[in-house]
Amino acid sequence: MASHQNPFHIAQQQFDTAAELLGLHDSVRAILRVPQRELTVNFPVKLDDGSTKVYTGYRVQHNLSRGPVKGGIRYHPHMDLDEVRALAMWMTWKCALVSIPFGGAKGGVVVEPQELSLGELERLTRRFATEISILLGPDKDIPAPDMNTNAQIMAWIMDTISMHRGYTVPAVITGKPIEIGGSLGRLEATGRGVSLMVRETAHQLMRSLEGLRVVIQGFGNVGSVAAQLLHEQGCRVVGIADASGAFYCGSGLDIPAMRAYSVNQSHRQLTGYHAPGVEQLSGTELLELDCDVLIPAAVKNQIHEKNAVRIQAQVIVEGANGPTTPGADAILSDRGIIVVPDILANAGGVIVSYFEWVQGLQAFFWDEHDVNSRLEHILVRAFNQVWALAKARRLPLRTAAYLLAVQHVAEANMIRGLYP
């Protein structure tokens, strides 16, 4: 069971810890503690049966001091403004930590997309894009995919904004299909980044990837790509869960077979997956499996004060945003469990989104090897900075990452000064 702690309060608490350690001035603290802009929209969509339904959506821009804002669009039935605020704030720190010239934003619609037909999904997306279009633009706010959104949805958003402007605006969104200006490597970027963070942490702990026992919660874009890449590098992925169930095999799950299976299922889930030697577990049991690395790559608040004492992994690499509550962080730190925080571990997606934006603006496209090697360079550099600071000051990796990120954003704010 997930914890029900308010994610925005968690994000503010994490920021407060960093602000205190950095000795940030009260006025800068007050500015960075809250989002700069918040837009809530209620908009009608015509359904296939002829009726009309009003949906609620959000776009929150946390901080614009380091450049245009960047962050995903999520479709989820249990989303609210506070969750979007938290996600936007985490994007600010993530972009600053990996030194890409963006502030943070996030958005989404309160909807269960699996209940919509393709036509309804397209109409909902185009109307939502129109409602938030006053905020969007290549030099203002550039959305990307997140939970339950994908390249097709990004294409509809790009097309909608382009129709309004009267010309094609590829750089208004990232995570687009390659045919209309997407970047090679973007689809896999977040999962690739997660796998790099597992590799770098194992390296620091002088462990080989060969035979490393990995458990992954979430088998969507992030979880399934991380599983595949770690499997290819010799890790033993012993546990996988998605929203439909959890699966365990001590000798290692057949990840390519599970990916092929989920792609062929409706909603890309693992429901009904069977293979010799594979046991079914509950989602709760999966998180508490004996393993070397646990990768939460699904939803927020999965590791909390109640289950943190039972986590057996030596390392947690946060593919998801906000999977660990501050209470759990303290317990994990006391128990010597290393947590590679979300703002570092899942930054691969926004790094390659940055590359896609750069390529779109220049109309000059790179090959996949260039994309992946530049991604690795940026992410490993950030990892080394965080690891070195954590070691030097005996801090958890999350605190070290926050110190670096918040410092960059605070400096940008102070250098620019207060207008007017």
Q: Taking contact as CB under 6 A, which single stretch among the options 158-166, 195-203, 296-304, 327-335 is the one that binds ligand NAD?
A: 296-304
**223 vs 396, beta carbon nearer ligand NAD:** 223
Q: Give me the catalytic one of 53, 106, 140, 300.
A: 106
User: CA-to-CA distance for 242 and 297, rounded, in angstroms?
Assistant: 9
Q: Taking contact as CB under 6 A, which single stretch among the options 36-44, 153-161, 205-213, 219-227 is the one that binds ligand NAD?
A: 219-227
- Of 125, 148, 183, 413, which one interacts with ligand NAD (CB under 6 A)? 148
DSSP per-residue letters across 348-365: HHHHHHHHHHHHHHHT--
Give the closest residue to 220 by CA, choosing from 265, 259, 193, 247.
Answer: 259
**For 269, left (φ over 0), alpha (ψ -120 to 50), or beta?**
beta
**83 vs 292, beta carbon nearer ligand NAD:** 83
307 a known binding residue? no
Considering the rule CB under 6 A, would residue 184 count as an interface residue with ligand NAD? no
CB contact at 8 A, 348 and 326: no
Q: Taking contact as CB under 6 A, which single stretch among the options 77-85, 129-137, 143-151, 272-280 is the one that binds ligand NAD?
A: 143-151
- Cis (ω within 30 of 0) for the bond into 420? yes
* CA separation, residue 191 to residues 44, 215, 338 (Å): 35, 14, 19
63 a known binding residue? no
- Of 63, 228, 321, 324, which one interacts with ligand NAD (CB under 6 A)? 321
Report which residue type is found at 190.
T
User: CA-to-CA distance for 154 and 305, rounded, in angstroms?
Assistant: 37
- Of 92, 125, 190, 359, which one interacts with ligand NAD (CB under 6 A)? 190
User: CA-to-CA distance for 109 and 126, rounded, in angstroms?
Assistant: 12
In whole angstroms, the minimum distance from the beta carbon of 217 to ligand NAD comes to 5
Judged by CB under 6 A, how many residues of this single chain contact ligand NAD? 25
* Active-site residue, 46 included: no
391 a known binding residue? no
CB contact at 8 A, 307 and 294: no
Which residues are annotated binding-site positions for substrate?
70, 94, 353
User: What is the binding site for ligand NAD (CB under 6 A)?
Assistant: 145-148, 190, 217-223, 241-243, 269, 283, 297-299, 319-321, 346, 349
Which residues are tagged catalytic? 106
Annotated binding site for NAD(+): 190, 221
